Structure 1
Amino acid sequence: MKHIVGKAVIAAVIASFAVEAGATEWNVSVWGKRRAFTEGIEKLAELVEEKTNGEFTMNVSYGGLSKNRENLDGISIGAFEMAQFCAGYHRDKNPSITVLELPFLGVKNLEQEVAVSNAVYSHPAVEKDLARWNAKLLMPSPMPQYNIVGTGEPRDTLEKFDGMRVRATGGIGQAFEAVGAVPTSVTATEAYNSMESGVVDTVAFAQHAHLSYRTIDIADWWTEDLNPGTVNCPVVVNIDAYNDLPDDQRKALDESVPEAIDFYVANYGKLLEKWDAILKEKDVKRVSFSDDEIAKFRKTAADPIREQWITDMTAQGLPAQELYDLVQKTLEEQSKTN
């Protein structure tokens, strides 16, 4: 009897080690708090765990692993296996994907943002650019066009932007600078305090961030149709960690990405549907711009910034014109199918 029990115990221990050996646990570095912007990652973690019967799990950390501007560095040294970052936080580290942050690209919805991001992410020059950081681009975190909130008298003409201190990064910051504003790239987590203390007059965000970082709580007005562009914030994985995954777990991860993005887009759509009620509840005035003002903004910002980007990136050895043309071609194809 003891002999049988002993064999059973040994078998259980061996089985336990076998399960442990096949288990994979990834740490994921994001920032802020759980919000529409991070729901794609949360859904991805849920799907992967479900498809692998719990053998592949992800621990999503909101600021506990790294600062948001240092997530790409953390990926490069393997401090964690997955992370989210925004191209505009460190344009010199990821120059290829900054094409997606150029102002007035013409992206009209989240589906188009997903399409152009995926097209650019899969370009060999972009893969090579991010591989310098041992990073593999996994999926986008698509966001709608940015608009600004501010306090005091609404700034409803380009002339009123002159001297305006605005929290804006990447191409959006360049666009505002082109019309006389003074952009600053304080991080999202610093935006509220910067606005409250008067360090900036206005803050440019997508809707979810105005809510998550509470800039909408101290805003008097919001520009509903300025739409100068958006930021591109990919989710990346450490290449070594990705390659080390067992085949079935890697397959589960890859196959879960489209589902996670679909969930993200649908979830964000619900937030956009509630946006009007949120503005009314917080007594925030909606500011509109005339067609002439929008056209003036586009003419002043879009063409020169795009041409300068192409010149600068070409000088760095990137196929800049090809990347820009890829974005426009993808948008054209999307417009035909939508």
Structure 2
Amino acid sequence: MKKYLQGAAVAAISVAIATPSMALEWNVSVWGKRRAFTEHIEKLAELVSEKTGGDFTMNVSYEGLSKNTENLDGIQIGAFEMAQICAGYHEDKNPTLTVLELPFLGVRNLEEEVAVSDALYAHPAVKKDLERWNAMLLMSSPMPQYNLVGTGEPRDTLEEFSGMRVRATGGMGEAFKAVGAVPTSVPSNEAYNAMESHVVDTVAFAQHAHLSFRTIDQGTWWTENLNPGTVNCPVVVNIDAYNSLTPEQKEALDSSVPEAIQYYIDNYQSEVLTQWDKILTEKNVTKVQYSDEEIAKFEAATQGVADEWIKARSAEGIPAQELYDLVKAKLKELHGM
């Protein structure tokens, strides 16, 4: 088993070169519990082990290695070899990735989320950004567009969002603020209590999170097609750990990524979305469908969030306009425009 040693003052990484007779185990840092959000990591571990006859395995640890907000730090010092991160948890650590968390980009499904993520991850500025943490982007964790579970009367026009208290973070929080709502960054595991005690009127999550954190149990309506944005949560690997792999191990890892991603998408659609539709029906939750005109009003009202992101990131020396244009161009390609 390969170990990366962490010093108190110096991030010293000791790399052990694996030979065909040595079994290699990578530690993988994730959080929460095993769920739809982590199924591609579990599948990746399964595939790599199969392809190497058990000579290369992964120990997927749920909160046993690091806090979710410190996974990049752990990757940097070699405390573990692989980790899942979310850009919005630490925007200052990975500013280039946050372009994918801007509101109303127009991503329609998980396949498109994978495609735009892959396009962005390949950009030299993004690679350089992550290299500061000795991290290499391996694959995305495609998240559906967040939507709102709300209490009280459904809000089906932009004007009705004025004064609405919403649990939303990052670019989505800024977007709701732009339309007159009051965003708050209540931790996800406190969202249910915040709804129950009327601290917030609505919560923005993907479907699996509304199920996991039980916010749907408080809700009376659901914004089926508002699609204000999502979070970007890639899986990264320690560069030194990756470079120390044998050619056979690299092939096993790299070739398993597409299948792991497809497994994630299939599982999300067959398990989570099917369960979600069933629960909405059982709980008699109203599905709010916004007209094209209302969506256009939301998009126009929140465009300033992207403009401000471009201005702020450009001031940091990041080719922000180029990254934003890359994402929009990829989406136009995917939409056949």
Please report the TM-score for the alignment, with normalisation by the length of structure 1: 0.89
CA–CA distance in structure 2, aligned partners of residues 91 and 19 of structure 1: 39
Partner of 1:51: 51
Q: Does 1:266 align with 2:287?
A: no
- Report the secondary structure of 1:237's partner residue: strand
* Residue identity in the other structure for 1:201: D
Q: Which moved more, 1:228-237 or 1:325-334?
A: 325-334
Partner of 1:7: none
Partner of 2:290: 289
CA–CA distance in structure 1, aligned partners of residues 82 and 192 of structure 2: 27
Partner of 2:330: 330
Change (3 A) 1:243 1:192: farther
**TM-fit CA distance, 1:151:** 2.0
1:216-231 correspondence to structure 2 within 5 Å: 216-231=216-231
- Report the secondary structure of 1:336's partner residue: coil
Q: Percent identity?
A: 72
* Residue identity in the other structure for 1:166: V
Partner of 2:157: 157
Once the two structures are superposed, what CA deviation does each residue of 1:165-186 show, in whole Å capped at 9, x if it has no partner?
A: 2221221111111111222233
**TM-fit CA distance, 1:135:** 1.1
CA–CA distance in structure 1, aligned partners of residues 193 and 22 of structure 2: 46
Partner of 2:195: 195
CA–CA distance in structure 2, aligned partners of residues 190 and 91 of structure 1: 22
CA–CA distance in structure 2, aligned partners of residues 143 and 78 of structure 1: 27
CA–CA distance in structure 1, aligned partners of residues 199 and 74 of structure 2: 30
- Report the secondary structure of 1:317's partner residue: coil
**TM-fit CA distance, 1:261:** 0.6
Partner of 1:183: 183
Change (3 A) 1:187 1:31: farther
Give the number of aligned pairs: 319
Q: Which moved more, 1:263-272 or 1:124-133?
A: 263-272
**TM-fit CA distance, 1:265:** 1.1
- Report the secondary structure of 2:137's partner residue: strand
CA–CA distance in structure 2, aligned partners of residues 164 and 300 of structure 1: 16
Partner of 1:28: 28
Partner of 1:127: 127
Larger Rg: 1
- Report the secondary structure of 2:335's partner residue: helix
1:62-77 correspondence to structure 2 within 5 Å: 62-77=62-77
CA–CA distance in structure 2, aligned partners of residues 168 and 188 of structure 1: 10
Give the aligned CA root-mean-square deviation in angstroms: 1.9
Partner of 2:173: 173
- Report the secondary structure of 2:276's partner residue: helix
Q: Which runs of 5+ in 1 are unaligned?
A: 1-17
CA–CA distance in structure 1, aligned partners of residues 313 and 82 of structure 2: 27
CA–CA distance in structure 1, aligned partners of residues 19 and 319 of structure 2: 47
Higher helix fraction: Structure 1 or Structure 2? 1
- Report the secondary structure of 1:22's partner residue: coil
CA–CA distance in structure 2, aligned partners of residues 310 and 277 of structure 1: 40
Change (3 A) 1:249 1:161: same
- Report the secondary structure of 2:83's partner residue: strand
Q: Does 1:275 align with 2:299?
A: no
Q: Does 1:242 align with 2:237?
A: no
* Residue identity in the other structure for 2:292: D
CA–CA distance in structure 1, aligned partners of residues 194 and 27 of structure 2: 31
